[in-house]
Amino acid sequence: MLDILFWVSAIGAVFSYFIYPILLMIIGSGKQVQDFDEQLNRPRITVIIPAYNEANRIAEKLDNTLAAEYPPGMREIIVASDASTDATDNIVRRYEPDGVRLVRADARRGKEYVQALAISAATGEIIVFTDVSTTIAKTALQDIVKAFSNPTVGAVSSEDRIIGKDGQILGESAYVRYEMLLRRLESRVNSLVGLSGNFFAARKIVCNNWDPVLPGDFNTAINCTVLGYKAITDSSVLGYYPDIQNESHEYQRKLRTVIHGISSVLHRMDILNPARFGLFAMQIWGHKLMRWLVPWFLVLLLISSILLLDAHWIYRIALYMQLLFYLMALLGRQYATKLQSNVLKIPYFFVQVNLAIAHAWILYLRGERMTTWEPTKR
């Protein structure tokens, strides 16, 4: 039995990170990437910006969004205020002559709730969601709607780029490159199971059934599948956002994200049923649920390796490799601010992420849920 536990744990620990993308590559081999119509007549769009106490950043965000090129009269901008208590709403009202509208919740109810309010007020055929912390390029609005020339596309995700404190674009981490690869593979094979929450767009019909319990990007991916559309990523559409300087803030962000994600999947257990959702259900299992189970597979793998130490040389090697990996993670933690090489950065980041996932499970099982949100300090 111990040897079965060992192999199940080993496969479970690597499935979402290695086996799942390999399966996507196999399924997607030979499939063509859809070209977009560069001459597409621009549809009317609504840009929705959720905000809570963003007085320090909202003017900069609105200036950036207004500077984005799009045909006059074909764009509206709605700021969805989650009952902000600072000067956010007053600042937004100053932009009314520029076509900016304010939609305000009567009480603080969460990001997805105010997005739903804004969707109800939107007049655009395409809804563009963008966070206050995200900067977009001048051509971003034009670029993100090109994919909708394909009638099978229901939503489009941007790709993320991180800006350092010196204003320069940071080199992509191994993790970011991996996530972007995964999105491209999912786009080719079927549909994304989650879009970039910082900057994405969807058809209005996809947004009509907006569940305030689910993260907006995940909600959009599910609605696309239910309605027979695809959610895809577009590597030419970029969202730029500041690096999180405080490590504890980054850990808290990961914690909130995972708790919200676990809550969302367990709230919509039906999407785990392949008989109903087909390949999309399998993607949820591979991309999300199996990844959230990794910390528990790792614990079982370590325990079974110790108990099988004298049973076979392969278990001894497995144990020594795990101990070496965790030692590298500790060294990565010790020298986190000085790391230039991925040799220590990757083990450290991997362990940090899985500690956050394990912590999120514990909080979830204790009844913790995420409905309201605090903008991450960057």
3-class secondary-structure state, position 238: strand
Please check whether residues 361 and 293 belong to one and the same domain.
Answer: yes
Q: What is the pLDDT of residues 19-78, one digit of tens each?
A: 999 999 999 876 665 655 555 568 999 999 999 999 999 999 999 999 999 987 899 999
Band of residue 87 on the pLDDT scale cut at 50, 70, 90 = very high
Q: pTM for the complete prediction? A: 0.87
Domain boundary among 207, 225, 243: 243
Cα–Cα dist 213/235, whole Å? 29
3-class secondary-structure state, position 376: coil
The per-residue pLDDT for 322 is 96
Domain boundary among 243, 260, 279: 243
112-235-59-75 Cα dihedral, nearest 10 degrees: -80
Dihedral angle sign, alpha carbons of residues 313, 318, 324, 330: negative
Band of residue 373 on the pLDDT scale cut at 50, 70, 90 = low
Pairing state between β 230-242 and 153-163: parallel
12 found inside a domain: yes
Number of domains in the chain: 2
Task: List CB contacts of 247: < 8 A, sequence separation 6 or more.
Answer: 336
Residue 218: which of 284, 316, 269 has the closest Cα?
284
Band of residue 243 on the pLDDT scale cut at 50, 70, 90 = low
The per-residue pLDDT for 169 is 46
Cα–Cα dist 225/234, whole Å? 18
38 found inside a domain: no
Task: List CB contacts of 91: < 8 A, sequence separation 6 or more.
Answer: 55, 58, 59
pLDDT of residue 228 exceeding 90, the answer is yes
Please check whether residues 313 and 372 belong to one and the same domain.
Answer: yes
Please check whether residues 237 and 264 belong to one and the same domain.
Answer: no
Q: What is the pLDDT of residues 180-193, one digit of tens each?
A: 889 999 999 999 99
Band of residue 240 on the pLDDT scale cut at 50, 70, 90 = confident
The per-residue pLDDT for 164 is 59
356 found inside a domain: yes
**Per-chain mean pLDDT for the chain:** 88
What's the order of all strands across the beta sheet hosting 100-104? Answer: 100-104, 75-81, 45-51, 126-130, 199-203, 153-163, 230-242, 135-136
252 found inside a domain: yes
Q: What is the pLDDT of residues 297-352, one digit of tens each?
A: 999 999 999 999 888 999 999 999 999 999 999 888 777 656 566 677 888 889 99
Domain boundary among 219, 243, 267: 243
The per-residue pLDDT for 31 is 67
Q: Which domain holds residue 276?
A: 1-31+246-378
Q: Look up the CATH number of the domain holding residue 128.
A: 3.90.550.10
Please check whether residues 63 and 142 belong to one and the same domain.
Answer: yes
pLDDT of residue 377 exceeding 60, the answer is no
Cα–Cα dist 369/375, whole Å? 17
Cα–Cα dist 48/123, whole Å? 11
Q: What is the pLDDT of residues 260-303, one digit of tens each?
A: 889 989 888 999 999 999 999 999 999 999 999 999 999 999 99
Please check whether residues 134 and 261 belong to one and the same domain.
Answer: no
